[in-house]
Amino acid sequence: MILSKQSSVSTLHTLTFFLCLLLVGCQILETPSPPSDSIPLIPDILNFIDQRLALVFPIIQAFKNTIISDPLGITATWVGPNLCNYTGFYCDHPLDNLTATTIASIDFNGFQLTAPTLDGFIDQLPDLALFHANSNKFSGTISPKIAGLKFLYELDLSNNLFSGLFPSSVINIPTLSFLDIRYNFFTGTLPPQIFMQTLDALFLNNNNFMLTLPNNLGDTPVVYLTLANNKFTGPIPRSIRKASSTLIEVLLLNNLLTGCLPYDIGFLGNVRLLDVGGNLLTGPIPWSFGCLKKVEQLNLARNFLYGQVPEVVCALGNLANLSLSYNYFTKVGPSCKSLIQRGVLDVRNNCIVGLPDQRSAKECMAFFSIPRSCLHPASFNIIPCQIHWTKPRERTQRHLLSYSALSTNRVLF
């Protein structure tokens, strides 16, 4: 009887255990599902044509929410999963996966958008190769994270409201070949490293950069160098001669550059445009300038230059415009007089006896009453190339790219 009772108890315990399991299992099976609004919107994600687009979608939407003015209604198109149809956004295949689709370039030129910053936007688009945003009202500083954009080769932030020091983070973008940050409010000095960057074009004009130009300026491989309308001081670095193989257009006008024109400029045999007008430069024109065989536009106006205008300069065969006005030159030779007659050479407001529109004798005497000199005076009479005296050809002034950078509009190559 005892065994039978124990057996009954054991059987009861077993039945109770399985009943509990069954009840718990039923409770689990019958647990209500979470509310529908907590389920991830997987159908929407699946509607993106590529996962890379799905990843940047929230980044674009977050940036959209920071825009406080959109007079052209651009952001009204930034809706839905088809990012490739958003106005200003362009899709392509990234270099690391030619079967994928991603946001490869952004062109906001002329959109007039206003936003307090671009941080958290372009620096979070990992496949971005080109970003153009001329003529908007973006402000703030440039995020250091932009250095992580491994495909970025064109960056145009011109004609905006950016401020602060030079955005040194761009130095760490190895693929960058075009940098345009003109018409902003950047200030301070230029880091020497920017002239070691493998750029083709560097447009820094119309900011508040100051102090001296880095001594390694000539290390730059750029074709177009525009540093105009800033507050640079000191001399033009003599290292500029090292850029002779690549440099074609140079704009240094309207700064506070001092000292004498370096003989080394004469080695820039490929230069077509050289403009150092509107500075505080003094001394004579080095004869080495006669080696600028391809130069078409040469502007030395509005400085404190003096002496005779070298005949070797006036004999340059490709000159379309030589502006020496508002200086203190005292003499021109036959070749220069010929350029004056043809309207190529402008020598107004100098001290050249016998020519019209010159400074008064009193003004000239006051200038020359102060002793002036240059370092390495012997170098001013050296011509480091072979001169072939040929009759200058008739030249018409053509569009030079760097001069277009002096307007607020985008630069068109």
Is the pLDDT reported for residue 157 higher than 90?
A: yes
For residue 303, give the nearest of 280, 322, 332 by alpha carbon.
280
pLDDT band at 11 (very low <50, low <70, confident <90, very high): very low
What is the rounded radius of gyration, in angstroms, for the C-alpha atoms of the chain? 34
Cβ neighbors of 375 (< 8 A, separation 6 or more) are: 260
Q: What is the pLDDT of residues 243-278, one digit of tens each?
A: 999 999 999 999 999 999 999 999 999 999 999 999
CA distances from 353 to 104, 285, 312, 348, 359 (A): 62, 19, 21, 12, 10
Burial of 251 (0-12, 13-18, 19+ CB in 10 A): buried
What CA–CA distance (Å, rounded) separates 310 from 263? Answer: 13
Residue 60 is given by DSSP the state H
> What is the spatial distance between Cα 4 and Cα 272, in angstroms, rounded to a whole number?
114
Chain segment 281-331, per-residue pLDDT in tens: 999 999 999 999 999 999 999 999 999 999 999 999 999 999 999 999 999
3-state helix, strand, coil in the chain (%, to 5): 30, 20, 50
With cut-offs at 50, 70 and 90, classify the pLDDT of residue 4. very low
- Residue 29 above 70 pLDDT? no
Distance CA 242, CA 232 (A): 21
| Side-chain half-sphere exposure of 164, counting CA atoms within 13 A | 13
Contact 261, 276 (CB under 8 A): yes
Task: Identify the residue whose tokens are 């703030």.
Answer: 140
- pLDDT tens digits for 335-362? 999 999 999 999 999 999 999 999 999 9
Report the 3 state secondary structure along 81-123.
CCHHHCCCEEEECCCCCCCCCEEEEEECCCCCCEECCCCCCHH
**Is a pLDDT exceeding 60 seen at residue 411?**
yes
DSSP 48: S
Query: What percent of the chain is modeled with pLDDT above 90?
Result: 80
What pLDDT does residue 412 have?
Answer: 78
- Comparing 389 with 21, which gets the higher pLDDT? 389
Contact 276, 253 (CB under 8 A): yes
How far lies 141's CA from each of 66, 127, 186, 290, 399, in Å?
A: 15, 22, 9, 44, 33
Tokens of 379: 């170098």
Across the range 158-170, mean pLDDT stands at 96
Q: In this predicted structure, what is the pLDDT of residue 395? A: 60
CATH topology of domain 101-377: 3.80.10
Neighbour-count burial for 57-94, b at 16+ CB within 10 Å, e otherwise: bebbeebbeebeebeeebbeebeeeebbebebbebbeb
Q: Considering all CA atoms of the chain, what is the largest pairwise distance in Å, rounded to the nearest integer?
A: 146
pLDDT, one tens digit per residue, over 187-206 is 999 999 999 999 999 999 99
